Structure 1
Amino acid sequence: MATQLKVDSPLLLTDEQMKTFITDGFLILQTDFSEEFHETLNTQLKTVYEEEGNPGNNLLPRIPELQKVFDHPIITGALTSVLGSDYMLHAHRHGHFNASPEAGGWHKDSYWGYQRMRNHHPWWAMIMYFPQDTPVELGPTGIMPGTQNYETRTFQDDETKEEALASGKAGTFALIHYDIWHRATPNVVGEPRFMLKFEFMRTKAPLAPSWDHEAESWSKPSSAQALPEQHDVMWEDTWNWLAGRVGSLADTRLKDEAEVQALVQELGDESEPQGLNAAYELACSGKNGVYELLQALYHENVRVSRVAAYGLSIAGPGAISGLISALENGRPKTVVHAAFALGELGHHAAKAVPQLIQCLKHSSEKVRRTATEVLSMIGQPTEEVVQGLSQCLEDPDVQVRFMAGLSLARLGPAAASAVPSLEKALNDENRYVRAHAAEALRYIGTEEAKDTLIQFLFNSRWCPTTTPANTFYP
């Protein structure tokens, strides 16, 4: 049974809310701030936007009152439930202003140019916060339920009757899977509409449920019945993964050879949802299914290789040796897909670490980016891993450099020997490399790391009240 919470304790999500997040990819929730709080917040936003323009990544320090939003127990509880208690508030944030009568285009958010395999397991999440009453006419964010796991857009503009709207009173927010398809809807009123977007990252693979957990086994929420596609294996695996049970569905849906071959044919289906279902089913079908997925990694159609990687990411220890062998392949995409699956398998993939360290020197920047990330997901912070990631902070590819900072943050105190390299990275030309290096120092937390971080923060101190209209006084 749930225990009674203190007023300022995170208000964790229920089993039903977590199941809905897994299937639908989002939740619409509500904070309970006063009308006066939101009036003040909106006044500040309007003043900043009118006098200075969009503050971009300085949104939070420019409007300090906004920090109260992200300290609210409903928001901290939602994020803790989905990302664990050690989640990171990412350096990228954006205040979206919408006064347009035209709808925005459907899209997934990028990783600042970082082309990567998108995780079906929730390693990332976003909050879209609405500080004013946002009826449908004011143009709330539109979300297409159940699309968080599709690389391709699976619906047309005239097929949006299932679109969910983040509409409601001031304080409404959408907690979304980072990769869900969404858009701005038309603001037919023409009055200012703000949406404050903040991104968050999981820093540790889950070891146990981090929500208000009572039900042990998976069952679909009622909302899932309305989704255009059903992904029973994918959803159950995500539930188990969030509860700390990595690869728990391996060998649970054994099939004969004819059934396996039928699923192999479906891997290349033009329908991405169909291909994904086949991959997930094969992952649970025993040795023959895993063998076919490993073969599909080398398929001439890169799309089939990518879909196979998702299946292998839940296949358990039986897939590890084959995935390690694929790291030696001459096609970079195959190496990326194999490394991705190893990262999702977490501690099961510990014996792949030496080969992944070698991938940090690969000629393909895409391989280096992937290896840099998955080494921290596997969670084996050996000195060789820390040394390799430290060297990545000086990689010629900026995306390798900023992912190295995030990975070192995930390793925490075990990455203490990286502090001198992180100190150098604090002077990198790229804002995210600098920010991620600072986060890594915070998560490492040794005296040396803290001293380095404090000195950097003092040197780069930004005054939120210094504006063109208010340069020095008061």
Structure 2
Amino acid sequence: MEHKAPLLLTDEQMRKFITDGFLILKTDFSREFHRQLLEQLNYVYEHEGNPGNNLLPRIRELQQVFDHPVVTGALTSVLGPDYMLHAHRHGHFNASSKAGGWHKDSYWGYQKIRNHHPWWAMIMYFPQDTSIEMGPTGIMPGTQNYESRTFVSDENKEEALASGEAGTFALIHYDIWHRSTPNVLGKERYMLKFEFMRTQAPTSPSWNHMDKEWKLPALVGAPYMAQETMWEETWNWLSGRVGSIANTVKEDAEYVQQLAVDLRDASEPNALHAAYELARCGKLGIDALLQGIHHEEIGVSRISAYGLSVSGIDAVQGLSEALDSKRIETVIHAVFALGELRRLAAVTVNKLIGLLEHPSNKVRQAVVETLGMIGGPIDAIVAGLIRCLKDEDVQVRFTAGLSLARIGAPAEAAVPQLQIALDDENRYVRAHALEALRYIGTEDAKDALIKHLFNSRWCSNTTPQSTFYP
């Protein structure tokens, strides 16, 4: 199949993704393509069960979906041109007349702070015509940045439904609240879920970018219009501007004092708005956020970290000092904010590497991700990540592989330990080690990658009904 150039999103579509956290798009495959795809899915599910992470190799035609220019263009626009198709994928079958519960997907049990910036995204692909009565995925617009189930109404009036003809798909921010809706017709309904991650922080817009400055889209489905500061910051971040909102409002002691009170508001949208506004208020705002990260209420500390993560270089010293906190949550929140500040936080790398000896696996998990986001000094970070590939905690090990993939070729020294990780007992440690070798891309890395893939190659035609012929 000929690979066509990605069909990049427009400014308006990117604005909608930032405010609402999702887009409903459609491929243009033929009806026959989807008929055959559905036929294969029915056979596999009936005779073999759900193939889970082997969905793509088991049904090879699915790769055509992820090579489609609408799909590659959407992913490139949101995650950059070097995005990664994650090893975890799942085909959801829904014939239930009962609605599923609202949820955010987990990171396979990994309790991390969720990024407001789109480092991760999911595609939910519908290979059959999916009417509202067939139970499409329901999405709550604008909830990608809220930890709590902060919905406008109990009747879910704001819910968006990913319904449409075969080939319709939802591109969603990984952290948005969603659910399965009732399939009142009881007909077969598949939703094929694939995860993708950004491997490089943006340095420039990766969509069809025309307007430099942020503005609201024509229609906003997100219910909380007070989040425009947060949305503008995300737009700027995607455009390659780090800490872009820092010091954009003149310091005003009275305004900062009110925002510091709002930081403790029981309403998460109000508290988040205060955190992002404080990031604009110079030293006074940063001081209020630093007080917040040490607040006795964990929720206030976490929300303060979001503000500090976009406050620019002036927040680094206070965050570095917060790494010395006796409270694990404060340390984790500070580590998270430093990672989002990326190269601005390079002066804290030695201190962060020291935390790789921390007795809390949650602290080590946060640090190993942040080291990959900061990216330098290279030698010190790569040496630390090599140690993490041998950590007793599986989540530290699999995150180390992702961080090394982000660093790429400069992480060549990790190749021998990555080869060892290919035999790890955990499937995601092995998968992330493979990805790291691919993104490092040196001859030694490629040799290790090819050898492992040949040794573990999988035949999509081999089933209990067809063991070796034809």
The reply to whether TM is greater than 0.5 is: yes
**Residues 439 and 231 of structure 1: is their aligned pair in 2 closer, same or farther, counting only changes over 3 Å?**
same
Partner of 1:191: 187
Post-superposition Cα deviations, 1:322-377, rounded to whole Å, max 9, x if no partner, equal 11111111111111100100111111111111111111121111110011001111
* Equivalent position SS for 1:138: coil
How many Å separate the matches in 2 of 1:463 and 1:358?
45
Residue among 78, 93, 107 paired with 1:82: 78
Partner of 1:290: 286
CA-based RMSD of the aligned residues comes to: 1.2
- Tell whether 2:386 aligns with 1:386: no
Any conservation in 1 of the 2:3–2:67 contact (CA below 8 Å)? no
* Equivalent position SS for 1:234: helix
Partner of 2:111: 115
How many Å separate the matches in 2 of 1:261 and 1:309?
18
Unmatched 5+ residue regions in structure 1? Answer: 1-5
Residue among 444, 462, 465 paired with 1:466: 462
* Equivalent position SS for 2:449: helix
- Tell whether 2:92 aligns with 1:96: yes
Residue among 325, 336, 342 paired with 2:332: 336
- Tell whether 2:422 aligns with 1:422: no
Partner of 2:7: 11
Partner of 1:396: 392
- Tell whether 2:240 aligns with 1:244: yes
The amino acid across from 1:295 in the alignment is Q
Residue among 339, 354, 358 paired with 1:358: 354
Partner of 1:273: 269
- Tell whether 2:130 aligns with 1:138: no
Any conservation in 1 of the 2:375–2:407 contact (CA below 8 Å)? yes
Partner of 2:407: 411
How many Å separate the matches in 1 of 2:255 and 2:20?
29
Residue among 52, 68, 81 paired with 2:64: 68
Post-superposition Cα deviations, 1:293-336, rounded to whole Å, max 9, x if no partner, equal 01111111111000000000100011011111111111111111
- Give 1:93 shift: 0.2
- Give 1:156 shift: 7.2
Post-superposition Cα deviations, 1:16-45, rounded to whole Å, max 9, x if no partner, equal 000000000000000000000000100000
Any conservation in 1 of the 2:20–2:141 contact (CA below 8 Å)? yes
- Tell whether 2:197 aligns with 1:214: no
* Equivalent position SS for 1:345: helix
How many Å separate the matches in 2 of 1:54 and 1:241?
38
* Equivalent position SS for 1:370: helix
The amino acid across from 1:320 in the alignment is V
Residue among 46, 51, 55 paired with 2:47: 51
* Equivalent position SS for 2:87: strand
Partner of 1:3: none
Post-superposition Cα deviations, 1:395-421, rounded to whole Å, max 9, x if no partner, equal 111100100000000010000000010
How many Å separate the matches in 2 of 1:224 and 1:32?
27
The amino acid across from 2:21 in the alignment is G
* Equivalent position SS for 1:195: strand
- Give 1:276 shift: 0.3
How many Å separate the matches in 2 of 1:225 and 1:108?
18
How many Å separate the matches in 1 of 2:180 and 2:159?
11
* Equivalent position SS for 2:220: helix
The amino acid across from 1:128 in the alignment is M
The amino acid across from 2:113 in the alignment is M
Unmatched 5+ residue regions in structure 2? Answer: none
**Residues 381 and 45 of structure 1: is their aligned pair in 2 closer, same or farther, counting only changes over 3 Å?**
farther
How many Å separate the matches in 2 of 1:46 and 1:100?
17
TM-score (norm: length of structure 2): 0.98
- Tell whether 2:36 aligns with 1:40: yes
- Give 1:259 shift: 1.2
- Tell whether 2:229 aligns with 1:224: no
The amino acid across from 1:57 in the alignment is N
How many Å separate the matches in 2 of 1:412 and 1:78?
23
Partner of 1:23: 19
